[in-house]
Structure 1
Amino acid sequence: MRLVFAGTPSAAVPTLHRLAAEHDIAAVVTRPDAPLGRKRVLTPSPVAQAAAERGLPVIRAARLDDAVTAEIAALEPELGVIVAYGGLVREPLLSTPDAGWINLHFSLLPAWRGAAPVQRALIAGDEVLGASVFQLVPELDAGDVFARRTVAVPSSATAGEALEALASDGADLTAEVVAAIAAGEARAVPQEGEPTFAAKLSLADGLLDFTQPVSSVFARFRGVTPEPGAHTTVDGQRLKILAAEPAVGEEQLPPGVLSGTRTALLIGTATAPLAVTRVQPAGKGAMNAADWWRGLQGGERRAGS
């Protein structure tokens, strides 16, 4: 088929590669270059970089306005495919391709409609993750579903690690749906059940609450890693928590109280401690958490202080 592909982050790249190998990609739509790093260097999105590697034409757009719609319409695509582009597709663009648009979404719809499905699912403690390919409609992530697939994700996987697995499986799922649409064999069914919603995460979502059980603290850590990042404060300074897991065989500590072992920083919760193995103090680089703890002066320390 003749396709237009829209996507921005690295999670969209496997689908772009898979479809480009099997179909005619008329254009790739992605967000404009963004400033990254401490020096704020303008950097193309992962999708823009992947498109350039394949020699595909790229349309950079912060929003899909009339000008972008006209540019896409001139390409006469048969189908639009969108994966985490970061903007809404509205009419008349929604109806511009002959078969409309399909969307790869990283949840088992109608669960976790919205911008951060994997992150919110992990924070909520969901044990099963998955991907869905559905027909794009004006209502948020509400279209009929062509296919779903559950994906086995390790119980310790962070959102970044889970999304990487889902992106790979999702690329296969999307390719199967596009092939079925091309053959005239695709069938979509309405979503069933009560939807849940996955709002975009803010920096505040990464703050860990150590008054909760360690299972809840770890679930939030998983959901906000690597973005927006898990953190707490110690002695009034922000401390990023980069690697952690529930402690095994350690005595319970009061919520928020810090202690150390030879290999980890322990932080008390309402149940077992959280064992932190890598941190990033304010203004410094990432380091071993046990080394950071040993470098502090004596006295009791409490996370959140």
Structure 2
Amino acid sequence: MPLNLVFMGTPDFAVPSLAEIVANGHNVLRVYTQPPRKSGRGQKLTKSPVHQFAEIMGIPVETPESFRKPSVIDALEALDADVACVVAYGQILPQRALDAPKDGCLNLHGSLLPRWRGAAPVQRAIMAGDTQTGVQIMQMAKGLDTGDILLSETVDIRPTDTAASLSNRLAQTGAEMWPRILGAVERGALTPTPQAGDPTYAHKIDKAESRIDWSRSADELDCHIRGLAPFPGAWCEIDGKRVKVHLATPENGSGAPGTVLDDNLLIACGKSALRLLQVQPAGKPKMDAEAFLKGTPVAKALVLL
């Protein structure tokens, strides 16, 4: 029997989950998502990806600024939902909201908890050099990603993965988990397992972290760059101008950190060297190194900041 449920989510990562839930015949009473935000050069108000998809599917959408308002929770309680499915919603839900659906709120999280609790688990896993991560559905509880685990899938982190490519894979894997979990809800057969081990925290990415520190090893910087691609993007200064680095690869080489070692963007690091493969000058699209060097020659022995 289809469930009457509420979906809460905001970014592209959440859209496959909503699509899978709808495709499996469940009745989505309401979608909650973040309010439209200004974006792009024109700073036009833009609806979230989940908001746009929900409207296409004809599902009513709510965009409360905060769940701290009693009236917002009153409206959620009035829906009398069986369960709420939450995927990267972007708001902390108070206990009264967590208790509103009959079977509570279930959250899809992009890591293997308790590793990488918090806002940026995909980016942090790559930046830390992890070789595996995963997606889990947990029973939401008070606290940051502290709830009992209901279902897990492990996903390998490939050596070429960026935050974008890994996020896309996790989003699809996670979406495919919802039919199993919602089937268990229908049968009253959820089997929670407490999280085990010491937690680590995936703090929100600070723009100050984006600057490349050439004193770090080439392997560390490769992970750093891929973890920040495409947004906000790791960057350095080349001849006084900011350039984002979207893709690079470690190679042999040595010299003072930040020194250009050849005429094809091989840069000395604290250990070994990093060849820049894809870059983006300020105000321009990303391009491969060859195209960049045609317009901006970078001489050997120049020091990048």
Whether 2:300 is the aligned partner of 1:302: answer: no
Match in the other structure for 1:272: 272
**Superposed CA offset, 1:217-264 (max 9, x none):** 1111111111221111223321111222223xx543431112455xx5
CA distance in 2, matches of 1:119, 1:133: 19
Percent identity among equivalent residues?
A: 36
CA distance in 2, matches of 1:296, 1:203: 28
**Superposed CA offset, 1:190-210 (max 9, x none):** 111111111000111211211
Shift of 1:269: 1.0
CA distance in 2, matches of 1:20, 1:246: 44
Pick aligned residue for 1:175 from 173, 176, 179:
179
**Superposed CA offset, 1:75-97 (max 9, x none):** 11110111001110112111100
Aligned runs of 1:250-265 on 2, under 5 Å?
250-260=252-262, 264-265=264-265
Match in the other structure for 2:209: 205
Contact kept, 8 Å, 1:215 with 1:246, in 2: the verdict is yes
Shift of 1:163: 0.7
Match in the other structure for 2:34: 31
Tell me the amino acid that sits aligned with residue 124 of structure 1. A
Tell me the amino acid that sits aligned with residue 84 of structure 1. A
Query: Structure 1 length as normaliser, TM-score?
Result: 0.93
Contact kept, 8 Å, 2:226 with 2:247, in 1: the verdict is no
Tell me the amino acid that sits aligned with residue 296 of structure 1. P
Match in the other structure for 1:220: 224
Match in the other structure for 1:7: 9
Aligned runs of 1:48-197 on 2, under 5 Å?
48-64=51-67, 65-197=69-201
**Superposed CA offset, 1:146-176 (max 9, x none):** 0111013321100111010000001112331
Query: 5+ unaligned residues in a row in structure 1: which ranges?
Result: none
Shift of 1:299: 6.8
CA distance in 1, matches of 2:71, 2:228: 36
Whether 2:244 is the aligned partner of 1:244: answer: no
Compare 134-143 and 252-261 and name the one that shifted more. 252-261
Local SS of the residue matching 1:118 = helix
**Superposed CA offset, 1:42-88 (max 9, x none):** 11111111111111111112222322212222211110111001110
CA distance in 2, matches of 1:42, 1:161: 27
Local SS of the residue matching 1:258 = coil
Q: Considering only aligned residues, what root-mean-square deviation do their CA atoms show, in Å?
A: 1.7
Shift of 1:102: 0.6
CA distance in 2, matches of 1:201, 1:78: 35
Tell me the amino acid that sits aligned with residue 61 of structure 2. V
Local SS of the residue matching 1:92 = helix
Query: Structure 2 length as normaliser, TM-score?
Result: 0.93
CA distance in 2, matches of 1:45, 1:12: 10
Contact kept, 8 Å, 1:102 with 1:135, in 2: the verdict is yes
Query: 5+ unaligned residues in a row in structure 2: which ranges?
Result: none
Alpha-carbon distance change, 251 to 98 in structure 1, aligned in 2, over 3 angstroms: same
Local SS of the residue matching 2:199 = coil
Match in the other structure for 1:285: 285
Paired residues, number: 300
Alpha-carbon distance change, 216 to 299 in structure 1, aligned in 2, over 3 angstroms: closer
CA distance in 2, matches of 1:9, 1:43: 12
